[in-house]
Chain A
Amino acid sequence: MSLKAIALGLLATSALVGAAVAQDQIKIGVSIPAATHGFMGGLNWHAAEAEKRLEAANPNIDIIIVTADGPADQASDLEDLVSVHQIQALVVLPFESEPLTEPVRAVADTGAFITVVDRGLTDPSIQDVYVSGNNTEMGVNSAEYMKTRLGEGDNIVILRGIPTVLDTERFDAFMGAIEGSGINVLDNKFANWNRDDGFEVMQDFLARFPDIDGVWAQDDDITLGVVEAIKQAGRESEMFVVGGAGMKEIVKGVMDGDALVPVDVLYPPAQIATAMDVTVNHFISNGPVTGSYILGSPLITQENAEQFYFPDSPF
């Protein structure tokens, strides 16, 4: 919301000073979903941080961040970025792949450089750069960690996100990697990427299964709910929880050696900053930048947690 205000402010000021702006000013539009939940809050924060850093380092770069509440809103934002700001490049995290493919194509047709983040368009030929986290690797790395701690006959439960392609990719990759290890997956339920549902689903798992050795929560918000439910049942010593994303509270816990949540698996909200860096480099670097950048989903352990810890980020 505050970003939107900043964006609006920028829009107003840039309209005022538009005529005075020098000819070689490069305008880069950044269109992302509004901060309606933890992960997007972090993503918005990292976008604003990257804007400050890049504009300070490159006086001829002007970055305009706009946030949208839905696909239709985002399509209008893209039109404004072209007609009002006449951007030379666009960094876009599409709300949904299909409805935004044509609006992004329209921006590309004006000759702008296109960087797509996280959710791919249905026609990848539109984009010059693609930056994304890796859901498959996230699932695999979570399963690999489970296998180092558990073995034949041990039981785990899984809390999933919201039924989406992204969630299915993580889940299928995890199940594929866990297969043959002898670890039993007792059941999986959707916890909708939020703490309350994580708490309730875990309470029910605890009521239903007397023997649980590990929990794959695959998301840090869900993890926080799960942890409360386990503490309420007084079963902290029986199991451990593996989350995902890289929320600061969880990373801090990993850093401090929390036995209940010993590791986390990264799915970085900071990927928007990577995308903005690459896009700026297209204008200032002599090296080629086009192509796909699939970021790793490394295991965050006590040893390396420091580098993933952003105490000022809201997420």
Chain B
Amino acid sequence: MSVSTHEAAKPVKGLRIDFKTLGPLLALVLLVILGYSLNPAFLNEGNVTNILTRSAFIGIIAVGATFVITAGGIDLSVGSMAAFIAGVMIIVMNWAVGSMGASIWTVLIGVGCSLILGVGAGFINGFLTTKAKIEAFIVTLGTMGIYRSLVTYFADGGTLSLASGARDIYRPVYYDSFLRIPIPVWVFIFVAIIGWVLMNRTAFGRYCMAIGSNEHVARYSAIKVDRVRTATFVLQGLCVSLATIIYVPRLGSASSATGVLWELEAIAAVIIGGTMLKGGFGRIGGTVIGALILTAIGNILNLTEIISNYLNGAVQGVIIVAAVYLQRGSLRTRRKKAE
């Protein structure tokens, strides 16, 4: 699916494209109806807030992943990277508490450290992919193992815990609300809007799609392919860093079990949302819905007793495939009609 066909198709077959855009949304609506019918508590304000807040982690990471995947790359290291950044943040903040007491500066130092690490880690992934010419899959598989081992090493196999002084100051970042919406959800909304603008209203977004659909043509069109690709990984690292900043105050700890399989959840959210895994076409709005769908599935399974615990993975699998089918299925009818 290349950019040009998509864009050319738009004016003529607007209605069907709308249907395709609505595919993931339709899946989410069906899921909400299912959740409500299984247990009315699903739509209680508290539960809806829980779902939105939880989906913020995967959602923010998935916004970054949308750029990487659109530009034809993949990043498997995000889960380990989140665990690694969380671990280093905690070590640095504990050190800051020890040397100058707990204050708002402790948290700011932690946040600054997270941003530097995220951007740095993203740059390393991007640099190795573009300059060293190693496939993104292999580079990020490697960094995934490295970050995971490093956090295990720092924690001595156990768990790194934030000193309670810093914890009390940092805690509101996850648990407090502004206008009745939790702060993590605000961050998610903010990241999604910036992401949407970048993807749909800037040259950078168009370059990503162009590179993902045909790297050689993009290169001949004087697009700085390596630079744009590296930038997508840096953006991904930045998103991981933001997600970690709101993750750490939740439990105030990091261990080797932190962020396990987040990379797959983020990729799944991106694909459920309508972005092509092979690149060339990205959809931020869909990614947001994809993240909500994934979180809602887990929540619904916890709210009901009718499905055996042992089948949770199977239910998730069926819903993910069905959600993608809703969107691709409508794609196929569109093509047939076009012929």
Contacts and interface: CB of A to CB of B under 8 A. Distances in A.
B161 A249 contact: yes
A99 interface: no
A41 B302 contact: no
Interface stretch (B15-23, B46-54, B203-211): B46-54
A36 B250 CA distance: 22
A207 B298 CA distance: 14
A41 B158 CA distance: 5
A40 interface: yes
Contacts of B299: 200, 204
Given A163-B310, A190-B309, A200-B54, A38 B303 contact: no
Contacts of B29: none
A190 B307 CA distance: 13
B309 A42 contact: no
Contacts of B312: 190
A1 B153 CA distance: 6
Nearest to B154: A1
A201 interface: yes
Nearest to B310: A163
Nearest to A248: B158
B157 interface: yes
B157 A35 contact: yes
A16 B255 CA distance: 36
A189 interface: yes
Interface string A28-71: 00000011111011101100000000000000000000000000
A3 to B, nearest CB: 8
Nearest to B47: A207
Contacts of A35: 152, 156-158, 256
A187 interface: yes
A37 B50 CA distance: 26
B114 to A, nearest CB: 18
A296 interface: no
A253 interface: no
Contacts of A144: none
B238 to A, nearest CB: 22
Contacts of A133: none
A203 interface: yes
A208 B153 contact: no
B156 A45 contact: yes
Considering residues B155, B157, B161, B251, which has the most beta carbons from chain A within 10 angstroms of its beta carbon? B157
Most buried by B among A2, A40, A203: A203
A30 to B, nearest CB: 15
A188 B309 contact: yes
Contact of A42 (B50, B158, B175, B303): B158
B4 interface: no
Interface in B8-63: 39, 41, 44, 46-47, 50, 54
Residue of A45, A160, A189 with most chain B CB atoms under a 10 A cut-off: A189
A195 interface: yes
Given A188-B309, A195-B253, A207-B46, A314 B54 contact: no
Given A163-B309, A163-B310, A188-B309, A224 B253 contact: yes
Contacts of A195: 159, 251, 253, 255, 257
A315 interface: yes
Nearest to A228: B251
B213 interface: no
A113 interface: no
Contacts of B161: 249
B291 to A, nearest CB: 14
A161 B194 CA distance: 39
Nearest to A67: B157
A42 B157 CA distance: 8
B50 A203 contact: yes
Contacts of B50: 200, 203-204, 207
B90 to A, nearest CB: 13
Given A34-B157, A160-B309, A204-B299, 20 more contacts: A1-B153, A35-B156, A37-B255, A42-B158, A163-B309, A188-B309, A189-B309, A190-B309, A193-B257, A194-B255, A196-B250, A199-B250, A199-B251, A200-B50, A206-B46, A207-B50, A233-B46, A249-B161, A314-B159, A315-B157
Interface of A: 1-2, 34-38, 40-42, 44-45, 160, 163, 187-190, 193-196, 199-201, 203-208, 221, 224-225, 228, 232-233, 249, 313-315
Interface of B: 39, 41, 44, 46-47, 50, 54, 149, 152-153, 155-159, 161, 175, 250-251, 253, 255-258, 260, 298-299, 302-303, 305, 309-310, 312
6 contacts: A41-B156, A196-B258, A200-B302, A207-B41, A249-B161, A313-B158
**5 nearest CB pairs, A to B:** A35-B157, A314-B158, A41-B157, A204-B302, A41-B158
